[in-house]
Chains A and B, each alone.
Chain A
Amino acid sequence: MIYVHRIFTALLATVPMSLTYAVTSGAAAQTSTQAATKSAHARDISIGLQAAITSMDPHYHNVGPNNSTLRHIFQPLVAPDENQKLTPALATSWRAIDDTTWEFKLRKNVRWHDGSAFTADDVAFTLKRVPNVPNSPSSFATFTKPIIDVKIIDLHTIIFKTAFPHPLLPSDLTAVAIISKAVGEKATTDDYNSGKAAIGTGPYKFVEYVANQRVVVKANYDYWGGEEPWDKVTFKMLTSPAARVAALLSGNVEMIETVPTADISQLEKNTKFALSNKVSNRVIYAHLNQHQDKAPVFLTDKAGKALEKNPLKDLRVRKALSMAINRDAIVSRVMEGRAVAASQLLADNFFGTSRKLKPAKFDPEGAKKLLAEAGYPNGFAMTIHGPNNRYINDAAIAQTIAQFYSRIGIEVKVDTMPSSVYFTRASKLEFSYMVLGWGTESGEQGSALRSLLATYDTAKGMGVTNRGRYSNPAFDKALGEALVTMDDKKRESMIQRAAEMAMEDVGLIPLHYEVSTWATTKALKYIPRTDQYTLAMNLKLAK
């Protein structure tokens, strides 16, 4: 057997290439013609994306992959840099005049891709359009909702009034792409998809959008920020991880995002490629169903009979469930080192994260003791639910957690399903224990706490994604006060305190922060981003 193993290991050194050809044989002809013309267009580049881009309308679908790709064509007033620090984009400066009034100075001499000038009118129009996009599957209105009044002072000065003190306004506005009033007034989402209305101010212009296939953009030589190193960028939607890696190996694309963890070590050894990675703003965590006092359906005693009380409402049980997980093992084994054990909702160094919080120590004996104290010396039976195509290695993570729980006497089943089914059922509160992920676009822990842990109240926009229905009035109060504090220093320490309250109460179980990995050919260098965006603007020639 070991002999066979040796032969295989030797053989397999040659296998990846042949496999690659098999996978991409359809694209083989295309690749060779590309290679022939490559010398003529050294400034053309292809990038393999992990998800499909669903629309070219920047206000249609608030989802990471769309926002990332559309950033090439459309720009917000304020743009986050690779570390999610706010930098001027279409606004050159901004300040709060008082607690509820903001003044934004707009950039002069910016031209739309159709040649017309960018003014405050366009900004006002954009804010009006955002909440009114028909059939939007996930609206951007959350970001514009606090603005109750817009005043245009002159062509390049605009004033926003907010309903309440809203220190996160500049950060919220990073998600809102500004569109041209002249073009947008008559345009529908279809006009953006066809390219007719895809007129922005960004460094690249729209060329082509083919649903589930590709997005093509070309350089905007009149860009206010100066010329980019690429003439034409083709984003190919390669949702299968193996196909994405194969496309990179075969030279079909020069760069891919979200390198499958299983392939990272192999690519690292390959001298033709370079990897770059960064801790992202995405935390993988488990929500615990605390909605009812009665135990939820997927949580029973070992004989399958319903429990009278919901064990997940007991802090000791929640603590035990957190302590029983060996986060370091998940990071090193399941994630192959491409993750960081989590203690809260955002990695250290992000705004509002507390240094006092440390990942729960792996202690199965202590967990058993806590379960016994809580009245479950023999454990209980539980099903862990998770997606199998949303987060990096999501199905394997769910199984590994099950392994750890079975050691403290909990009888665990694992059920993973495609994310489309999973999220719908999770939002209906069908599950007991849910493996989930959350990327904090604002880079500020306050907004993650608000979405995931504040008591569920859609009218107030609190706890809108709180699928565990955790509720802690003291925490709600602390967080509520923090979110309306305008002074950054004060707000940060208040958010830290709120985070400590929720984490010590194990409102949810943080597992790890994803590390995103990009792979490029050796000739290129990608400046990795915490927001997991893949931007041609961050792609440079390696020196």
Chain B
Amino acid sequence: MNAAAWLKRATKSALSFGEAPRIESPLQRFWSDFSESRLALIGLMLLTMIILIAIFAPLISPQNPYDLSQLDIMDSKLAPGEKSGAGHTHLLGTDDQGRDMLSAIFYGLRISLGVGIASTVFALAIGLFFGMIAAYFSGWVDTLIMRVVDIQLSFPAILIALILLAVLGQGADKIIVALITVQWAYYARTVRASALVEKQKEYIEAAKVLALSKTRILFCHMLPNCLPPLIVVATVQVAHAIALESTLSFLGLGLPITEPSLGLLISNGFTYLMSGKYWISFYPGLALLLTIMSINLVADQLRDVLNPRLKK
């Protein structure tokens, strides 16, 4: 926290001097810390909007872009604002199959966020489990798990994902599996580091003296204290996962071509960039950019708020 913010807080409490002292709940405190950055607030608003769009995509999209019978090849490559043969206006134009770009982007966000969040949650759980075990038991368990993590981290993520998808085949579930495989090692490493620190602390010793079970110590005492850094890593990783999913789709792996995600939409439009039909690539690209940017803004502020070193 910077000096100005501290000053603000100090004056605020000085002004309220005399009133009954207000006690902030941890959540309230978290929020007031978080909302200090206007950029982060904008990011959060944007992200909320994107998430709402993703959730309600089937309700707000003018067209189901994945239902082939709703597409008409005669409406293909319409420019933004042009009317289709049936009289619908396509605000962002259509792609080379006559798919409404706006609907395709809404549905694409659904896939991107869905895949990103699902893979992160699972990878987090797996990473957490192995990281804690490695830190708590140390010895050969630690060595074994951490060497596996080392090997995993020494390969570029995109390479592993490419190979996995080539073997697994098409489908959103396969992409999630590939992304989990790629990501869990990051969490394992982060958790182990903070768990090693926590392990030294007195409350763990106290718990041991009380002869609590290992699982109870691990999951009820150590785990909550290891979470803050993980939350930060996880938010950043969601953005990574989304970018990785788009990269894979751009390369034509993962999802079937009749159900394009943002990456595949960009890739389809790539052919038409030189011929002036920019919108097939541009708007999905913009949507992807805004999504990843808003997540990163939120993640940045989360890191500042949750970092104990930056706390006064």
Q: Which residues of A contact B (CB under 8 A)?
A: 1-2, 4-5, 8-9, 12-13, 15-16, 19, 241-242, 245, 260, 262-263, 265-266, 326, 329-330, 333-334, 388, 395-396, 398-400, 402-403, 405-407, 412-416
Q: Out of A2, A260, A326, A412, which one reaches B81, CB within 8 Å?
A: A2
Task: Tell me whether B304 is interfacial, beta carbon within 8 Å.
Answer: no
Contact B73 A403 (CB under 8 A): yes
CA separation between A405 and B80, bound complex, in Å?
28
Contact A399 B258 (CB under 8 A): yes
Kindly provide the distance from the CB of B284 to the nearest chain A CB, expressed in whole angstroms: 15
By CB atoms of chain B within 10 A, which of A15, A396, A412 has the most?
Answer: A396
Q: What 1/0 flags go to B93-111 for Cβ under 8 Å of A?
A: 1001110000000000000
Q: Which 8 A-B pairs have the closest CB atoms?
A: A2-B81, A406-B68, A406-B69, A5-B80, A266-B275, A12-B276, A262-B271, A403-B68
Kindly provide the distance from the CB of A154 to the nearest chain B CB, expressed in whole angstroms: 57
Contact A402 B258 (CB under 8 A): yes
Contact A242 B275 (CB under 8 A): no
* 20 additional contacts (CB under 8 A) given A266-B276, A334-B76: A5-B79, A5-B81, A5-B279, A241-B271, A242-B270, A242-B271, A263-B274, A266-B274, A266-B275, A333-B77, A333-B98, A334-B96, A395-B257, A396-B96, A399-B257, A400-B73, A403-B71, A405-B68, A406-B68, A413-B256
Q: Considering the complex, give the chain B residue whose CB is closest to the CB of A389.
A: B252
Contact B275 A263 (CB under 8 A): yes
By CB atoms of chain A within 10 A, which of B69, B72, B96, B279 has the most?
Answer: B69
Contact B258 A245 (CB under 8 A): no
Kindly provide the distance from the CB of B204 to the nearest chain A CB, expressed in whole angstroms: 53
Contact A1 B81 (CB under 8 A): yes
Number of interface residues of B (CB under 8 A): 34
Q: Which residues of B contact A (CB under 8 A)?
A: 67-69, 71-74, 76-77, 79-81, 91-93, 96-98, 170, 252, 256-258, 270-279, 282
Contact B96 A403 (CB under 8 A): no
CA separation between A485 and B39, bound complex, in Å?
82
By CB atoms of chain B within 10 A, which of A9, A19, A326, A403 has the most?
Answer: A403
Question: CB-CB < 8 A to A398: which residues of B?
Answer: 257
Kindly provide the distance from the CB of B286 to the nearest chain A CB, expressed in whole angstroms: 10
Question: CB-CB < 8 A to B278: which residues of A?
Answer: 8, 12, 15
CA separation between A406 and B71, bound complex, in Å?
10
By CB atoms of chain A within 10 A, which of B68, B72, B256 has the most?
Answer: B68
Query: With contacts A1-B81, A413-B256 known, is A407 near B69, CB below 8 A?
Result: yes
CA separation between A403 and B67, bound complex, in Å?
9
CA separation between A415 and B71, bound complex, in Å?
18
Contact B73 A329 (CB under 8 A): yes
Query: With contacts A5-B279, A262-B275, A263-B274 known, is A400 near B80, CB below 8 A?
Result: no
Question: CB-CB < 8 A to A13: which residues of B?
Answer: 276
Q: Considering the complex, give the chain B residue whose CB is closest to the CB of A328.
A: B74
Question: CB-CB < 8 A to B170: which residues of A?
Answer: 415
CA separation between A399 and B77, bound complex, in Å?
15
Question: CB-CB < 8 A to A4: which residues of B?
Answer: 80
Q: Considering the complex, give the chain A residue whose CB is closest to the CB of B269.
A: A262
Query: With contacts A2-B81, A402-B68 known, is A8 near B275, CB below 8 A?
Result: no
Q: Considering the complex, give the chain B residue whose CB is closest to the CB of A416.
A: B257
Query: With contacts A2-B81, A19-B274, A242-B270 known, is A8 near B71, CB below 8 A?
Result: no
Contact A16 B96 (CB under 8 A): no
Q: Out of B69, B71, B97, B252, which one reaches A396, CB within 8 Å?
A: B97
Question: CB-CB < 8 A to A400: which residues of B?
Answer: 73, 97
Question: CB-CB < 8 A to A12: which residues of B?
Answer: 276, 278
CA separation between A16 and B278, bound complex, in Å?
11
Contact A414 B257 (CB under 8 A): yes
CA separation between A19 and B271, bound complex, in Å?
13
Kindly provide the distance from the CB of A282 to the nearest chain B CB, expressed in whole angstroms: 20
CA separation between A329 and B270, bound complex, in Å?
22
Kindly provide the distance from the CB of B171 to the nearest chain A CB, expressed in whole angstroms: 11
Question: CB-CB < 8 A to B71: which residues of A?
Answer: 403
Contact A403 B274 (CB under 8 A): no
Contact B69 A1 (CB under 8 A): no
Kindly provide the distance from the CB of B93 to the nearest chain A CB, expressed in whole angstroms: 8
Question: CB-CB < 8 A to B279: which residues of A?
Answer: 5, 8
Kindly provide the distance from the CB of A92 to the nearest chain B CB, expressed in whole angstroms: 47
Q: Considering the complex, give the chain B residue whose CB is closest to the CB of A388.
A: B252
Kindly provide the distance from the CB of B243 to the nearest chain A CB, expressed in whole angstroms: 21
Contact B79 A333 (CB under 8 A): no
Contact B72 A403 (CB under 8 A): yes
Contact B274 A2 (CB under 8 A): no
Question: CB-CB < 8 A to A414: which residues of B?
Answer: 256-258
CA separation between A304 and B282, bound complex, in Å?
38
CA separation between A157 and B233, bound complex, in Å?
81
CA separation between A340 and B271, bound complex, in Å?
22
CA separation between A241 and B274, bound complex, in Å?
11
A-B contact pairs, 23 of them (CB 8 A): A1-B81, A2-B80, A5-B279, A8-B279, A9-B79, A9-B276, A13-B276, A15-B274, A242-B271, A260-B271, A263-B275, A266-B275, A326-B73, A329-B74, A330-B73, A333-B74, A333-B76, A334-B96, A395-B257, A403-B69, A405-B68, A414-B257, A416-B257
